[in-house]
Amino acid sequence: MKKIVVMILVVLFVGAGSLPSLSGDTNTTTDKKPSADEVNIFGLFPHVVGDMILYLSLSPFRWTTIYYDYFSGNIGLWIRGTYTPSIPPQAHFVYYPSNDIWRIVWTPFYFKSLSTDVDGEIIEEWWKFDDSEPWVITNNPWYIYTEPGYHNVSLRVVDNDHLNATCTMGVFVHQTTPTFQGQQGSDSVTIVGYYCLGNIEYYNWSDFRNVGSGSCVIPATGHPQIGDIITNCSGFIIIQYIPNGVVSGYWYF
């Protein structure tokens, strides 16, 4: 019996001498971003530290930490049970106007989160409407862009397990175009007013076209001016700015 006890003590001392070191971060792993699969846990010398469990994993052979909240089983001289970690949320959003021709400066853009969390609920939505803008916490926001071009919009969602996910999309904003007010004749339209932001000289008649079910002749040169006449019109006429397709006026003959 004494020989058996001595042999057990020797094995324990030898085994203890070969245990992975607890000093430093290289020998300890923390499951901070666990998978969604249930994991079978078995190891030796478990110890609860705060919201973590530290134990000696046998495969692989190293000290490992897991979150206590996601463990279900027995803790004694050894740890045995299952570990089912929380699943991070999925971030996704849509924005309106969805049609490209209406996405112009000084026009409200509306954003809606379609984010999901399969094992809980989303408790916070953080939005960032451009790279230079700060993060703001809000639900289903709207935003007005004053400069044309691409703007990176980001949504960060946080679930009830305090896990988060981020989604970023590029939104292209077009330059505002004129909206014409026209006096309609029998087969022509005389421009009597227009609305635009910026100088009308930024826009050329050569950048416009008519679409729809009808046809008419648009001035080939110059800038749109009050008094310009669009001639030989028939059918349903839509005047459109070519660079971004924004409708500038429509008439029916």
Element (H, E) at 122: strand 122-128
Q: Per-residue pLDDT for 52 more than 80?
A: yes
Tell how strand 61-67 and strand 71-75 pair up.
unpaired
> Is the peptide bond prior to 97 cis by the omega test (within 30 degrees of 0)?
yes
Q: Is residue 23 scored above 80 in pLDDT?
A: no
> From CA 63, how far away is CA 29, in angstroms rounded?
7
Asked whether 149 and 170 are in contact (CB, 8 A), the reply is no
Name the residue type at position 55. Answer: Y
pLDDT digits (tens, 9 = 90+) for 151-170: 999 999 999 888 899 999 99
Q: Note the pLDDT tens digit of each residue in 170-218.
A: 998 887 778 899 999 999 999 999 887 667 888 899 999 998 898 999 9
Where are the CATH 2.60.40.10 domain residues in the chain? 93-173
Distance in angstroms (rounded) separating the CA atoms of residues 225 and 182: 11
C-alpha of 74 from chain center: 41
- May I ask the CATH class of domain 93-173? mainly beta
Considering only CA atoms, which of 107, 167, 169, 115 is closest in space to residue 139?
115
Distance between CA 3 and CA 12 in Å, rounded?
14
One-letter amino acid of 20: P
Give, for 30, the enclosing helix (H) or strand (E): strand 28-30
CB 83 within 8 A of CB 71: yes
Assign 101 a pLDDT band (cuts: 50, 70, 90).
low
Q: Which residue has the tokens 């110059």?
A: 222
